[in-house]
Structure 1
Amino acid sequence: MAGPPQTTPDPATEAFVAHRNLLFTVAYEMLGSAADAEDVLQETWLRWVGVDLDTVQNRRAYLVRIATRQALTRLRTLDRRKETYVGPWLPEPLLTAPDVAEDVELADSVSMAMLLVLETLAPTERAVFVLREVFDLGYEEIAEAVDKSPAAVRQIAHRARAHVAARRPRGAVSPAETRGALKAFQRAVETGDLQSLLDALAPDVVFLTDGGGVVRAALEPIVGVAAVAGLLGRITAGLSAEPTQVNGAPALLLRAGGELIAVLAVRIDDGLVTGLYAVRNPEKLSRVGRETPVSR
């Protein structure tokens, strides 16, 4: 008896699925928003299925070009929105699998600290930097994606590299180095013990909170161990803290009565917490509880 008919895989679908993680990561690093990155993927797919594959020499490069152009269009709209954003703007938290943390370069590129540095670049500079420095695409390939000449792309890449180098955070930290420090910090947060918080924080720790004007949050960065410890002790009282990986780095999911109210991303250097990024805007938390962690 004959079995079910064998279907031939669709080449367009195969190519899209094969490069989906790459396209998502490119879009996310350009936009700082997982929701918008997913929209870019959808727009990329809609354009991709209309392409005559016989005319495409390099399917990966073609897909990256479509996704980059869609992300650039969306980035300019987002930039206008951020001009009226209430308080600090933080990237939408992205749950990441352990293999992302193990890939030091990728983890650094999607970290909250690095994405905030990328926010200071102009849209085309950001696209060129991400495609060149993170994904090592050739200048000719990038030129097609951003509608510039290869010579112009080289100049933009040089300028963007220098801009980022002057502002980038300290070097990437190994996962092993963070485990003990994160456990100590988690205990301090859950107990609300001020001395434990003081012991876990670096003297120059910086705390950013993103409420988007929707929920209560500090409108300016909080700097210094005493100020940060005092604020943490007040806002985390009675909350549960669940460790996770966000943007390739350790983080805590803060819940009140079982409801997720904040994602607290943690930057650890030399065994102490140097950066805290609390995302409280409900619009940026809606995906965290239901998303599968992104892997490389």
Structure 2
Amino acid sequence: MTGTAQADEAAAGFDPLRPMLLRLGYRMLGSVADAEDVVQEAFIRWMRSDRSEVREPEAFLRRTVTRLCLDQLKSARQRRETYVGPWLPEPIVEEEDEEDVTLPLMLALERLSPLERAAFLLHDVFGLSFDEVAATVGRDTAACRQLASRARAHVRDARPRYKLEKTRGLELAEAFYAASRSGDMSALGALLAADVSMHADGGGKRPAAPQPIIGFDHVMKVHKALAALFVKRHSTLVRTGFISGLPGFVTRESDGELQTTAFEIEDDRIVAIYVMRNPDKLKHLH
């Protein structure tokens, strides 16, 4: 077989695994761009490797991506210490909700050590045995069990307490858009829980609240002020859908930039609002 034919065969073997590797990279890093970079580096290493020695390509590539992510997480934590305002993961917009890892769970994963994060994702989300997890992260099986157990305790509260009917979630998102843009504060207030919180990530690139806004009265006050702005500066609804597993919508704001708004919902009330305004984290949506 010629070198070109071998390369074509290697690429053909990699391509079906790319979506899974991207999901793993995104869930490890919270960044679409970083996940794509990691997977591309894994592809380069795959093409350069002695593939005749690789018995399980999927395990080899998953291990490669995981270890590249662990290296990235060390520097990512340092960058986030100096991040301007609340940090949110890059939004993924889909027709259907991804139920394995939602935005609140992604935020909970941020509080874990890199190894805890890897053990939890590989075992609890991707379904690997602890022996496979151990081989992937380079720790023994017992240690990986402990890592996943500690992680599970930290993220337990981020799991949804009950399953939201998809259509109802989108209805609430559409109702929120209509009420917030029209200035119907009565309708907006009826959608919110008493302990609602609002988190906006502008990354220092666009105006956004520098701290989370907590409580019904404070969130309503912010949206009353925003409603007055929307009269002068129109936003356009691009689409509704699921934003990182939560019902929400994408808008194009008056500055021409995209924005995503996602809602955590319990007992038919919005308990958290997540707004992504940082243009660097929205590039992939274009």
Q: TM-score when scaled to structure 1?
A: 0.87
Q: How does 1:108-147 map to 2 (within 5 A)?
A: 108-109=100-101, 111-147=102-138
Q: Distance in 2 between matches of 1:119 and 1:172?
A: 23
Q: Distance in 1 between matches of 2:70 and 2:213?
A: 32
Does the Cα contact within 8 Å between 2:197 and 2:213 map onto a contact in 1?
yes
Q: Is 1:250 aligned to residue 242 of structure 2?
A: no
Q: Is 1:107 aligned to residue 104 of structure 2?
A: no
SS of match in other structure, 1:214: coil
Q: Is 1:160 aligned to residue 151 of structure 2?
A: yes
Q: Is 1:198 aligned to residue 184 of structure 2?
A: no
Q: Distance in 2 between matches of 1:252 and 1:260?
A: 14
Code of the residue aligned with 1:249 in structure 2: it is L
Q: In the comparison of the two structures, how many residue pairs are matched? A: 276
SS of match in other structure, 1:212: coil
Does the Cα contact within 8 Å between 1:253 and 1:260 map onto a contact in 2?
no
Q: Aligned-pair distance for 1:257?
A: 4.1
Code of the residue aligned with 2:16 in structure 1: it is A
- Aligned residue number for residue 268 of structure 1: 265
Does the Cα contact within 8 Å between 1:262 and 1:285 map onto a contact in 2?
yes
Code of the residue aligned with 1:83 in structure 2: it is E
Q: How does 1:89-104 map to 2 (within 5 A)?
A: 89-98=87-96, 101=97
Does the Cα contact within 8 Å between 1:107 and 1:247 map onto a contact in 2?
no
Q: Is 1:180 aligned to residue 171 of structure 2?
A: yes
Q: Distance in 2 between matches of 1:108 and 1:232?
A: 31
Equivalent of residue 280 in structure 2, options 271, 277, 283 = 283
Equivalent of residue 10 in structure 1, options 8, 11, 26 = 8
Equivalent of residue 237 in structure 2, options 238, 241, 250 = 241
Code of the residue aligned with 2:54 in structure 1: it is V
SS of match in other structure, 2:242: strand
Unaligned runs of 5+ in 2: none
Q: Aligned-pair distance for 1:171?
A: 3.8
Q: TM-score when scaled to structure 2?
A: 0.90
Deviates more, 1:268-277 or 1:42-51: 268-277
Deviates more, 1:115-124 or 1:158-167: 158-167
Equivalent of residue 36 in structure 1, options 29, 34, 37 = 34
- Aligned residue number for residue 50 of structure 2: 52
Q: Distance in 2 between matches of 1:141 and 1:207?
A: 39
Label 1:158 to 1:256 Cα distance change in 2 as closer, same or farther (>3 A): closer
Unaligned runs of 5+ in 1: 1-6, 290-296
Q: Aligned-pair distance for 1:114?
A: 0.8
Equivalent of residue 220 in structure 1, options 211, 230, 234 = 211
Does the Cα contact within 8 Å between 1:189 and 1:241 map onto a contact in 2?
no
Q: Aligned-pair distance for 1:14?
A: 2.4
Label 1:88 to 1:169 Cα distance change in 2 as closer, same or farther (>3 A): farther
Q: Aligned-pair distance for 1:137?
A: 0.7
Code of the residue aligned with 1:158 in structure 2: it is S
Percent of residue pairs identical:
38
Does the Cα contact within 8 Å between 1:190 and 1:240 map onto a contact in 2?
no
CA deviation profile, 1:91-121 (whole Å, cap 9, x unmatched): 01112232xx1xxxx4241x21110000000
Q: Distance in 2 between matches of 1:254 and 1:245?
A: 13
- The CA RMSD measured in Å over matched residues stands at 1.9
Q: Distance in 2 between matches of 1:259 and 1:181?
A: 25
Does the Cα contact within 8 Å between 2:170 and 2:241 map onto a contact in 1?
no
